[in-house]
Amino acid sequence: MREGAHLAGGSDGARASGGERPAFDTKVAHQARIYDYWLGGKDNYAADRKAAEAAIAAYPGVATGARANRQFLARAVRHLAGEAGIQQFLDIGTGIPTANNTHEVAQSAAPESRVVYVDYDPIVLIHARALLASHDDGHIDYLDADLRDPETILGQASRTLDFSRPVAIMLIAILHAVGDDDDPYQIVARLIDAVPPGSYLALSHVASDIDPEKIAEATARLNQLSHQHFTLRDHAEVTRFFTGLELLEPGVVRVEEWRPVSELEGRNRSAMWGAVARKR
């Protein structure tokens, strides 16, 4: 194993095209640290725990949903690096490192996998070094950049990824942090446009139409207590992200229903839609 690559990006070149990026502030809850708390991690502060617990009080399923989402990520990457033969991953909305990070799953199936991580949160940047330990045959980079600025991401990712060959674009549990004003459908279309046929999109998103009252209350509490504002979307709205792509079976489903490998995995209930699709 070796330390892969360098930290690319930098806050100046990676400013959002709209809206603010979170500053490092331990007094305000951040999505990455709330999620870390739900996953049982230790990289969170009192404000994050307060927001995370407030959401759990409104909807106890959010913590099991986070775990189900994480398992979906691992199954999707395992499929892509294994059966689908993908060796390049653009993982936007990396989060704080935990078990089964994208490069670990991908490189255990295909050691030569090249992975570019992207996140806009300074706390994730601080932890990025932990993500850069690549298998010798592969390569990993980290970009401190904003999803709402896809041109910067694509430009900097091209130092590591060959965009003439298939790439898996991973947008796992991030798009609900992009409001309609920032045109998330246009952002996803731009990313898909940059990759050749045979590429994939793996995506998950908090649902507005699963346990709708509870999830709406949990989201309202998070929106009040955290830096980010969350926009829930229903099944049809999440399916729209895959326009023009060929959805793999079983389509857009609750994340725990996407090819669970054990009964236990299938039982971790979530209020999240997820799917994997191929560019024709």
Binding-site ranges for ligand SAM (CB under 6 A): 31-32, 35, 69-70, 73, 93, 95, 118-121, 124, 146-148, 172-174, 177-178
With respect to ligand SAM, which residue has the nearer C-beta, 93 or 138?
Answer: 93
With respect to ligand SAM, which residue has the nearer C-beta, 63 or 73?
Answer: 73
Q: How far is the CB of 200 from ligand SAM (least distance, A)?
A: 15
Residues 6+ apart with CB under 8 A from 95: 32, 35, 36, 119, 124, 173
Q: Cα–Cα distance between 113 and 72 in angstroms, integer?
A: 19
Q: How far is the CB of 152 from ligand SAM (least distance, A)?
A: 11
With respect to ligand SAM, which residue has the nearer C-beta, 8 or 32?
Answer: 32
- Per the DSSP assignment, residues forming a β-bridge with 90 are 116, 169
Q: How far is the CB of 86 from ligand SAM (least distance, A)?
A: 17
Taking a C-beta distance cutoff of 8 angstroms, is the pair 275, 203 a contact? yes
With respect to ligand SAM, which residue has the nearer C-beta, 121 or 237?
Answer: 121
Q: Cα–Cα distance between 144 and 250 in angstroms, integer?
A: 33
SS3 string, 130-166, reads HHCEECCCCEEEEEECCCCCHHHHHHHHCCCCCCCCC
Q: How far is the CB of 22 from ligand SAM (least distance, A)?
A: 7
With respect to ligand SAM, which residue has the nearer C-beta, 45 or 165?
Answer: 45
Q: Cα–Cα distance between 246 and 269 in angstroms, integer?
A: 26
With respect to ligand SAM, which residue has the nearer C-beta, 132 or 197?
Answer: 132
Q: Cα–Cα distance between 262 and 254 in angstroms, integer?
A: 15
Residues 6+ apart with CB under 8 A from 15: 21, 146, 149
Q: How far is the CB of 119 from ligand SAM (least distance, A)?
A: 4
- Range 73-85 burial, b when 16+ CB lie within 10 A, else e: bbbbbbbbbeebe
Q: By Cβ distance, which residue is nearest to ligand SAM?
A: 95
With respect to ligand SAM, which residue has the nearer C-beta, 98 or 108?
Answer: 98
Residues 6+ apart with CB under 8 A from 98: 36, 39, 41, 70
Q: How far is the CB of 136 from ligand SAM (least distance, A)?
A: 25
Q: How far is the CB of 1 from ligand SAM (least distance, A)?
A: 22
With respect to ligand SAM, which residue has the nearer C-beta, 206 or 245?
Answer: 206
Question: Cα separations (Å) of 165 from 32, 114, 160, 199, 226?
Answer: 31, 12, 12, 8, 39
Look up residue 87 and give its two tokens: 């060796």
Look up residue 229 and give its two tokens: 């504002």
Q: How far is the CB of 124 from ligand SAM (least distance, A)?
A: 5
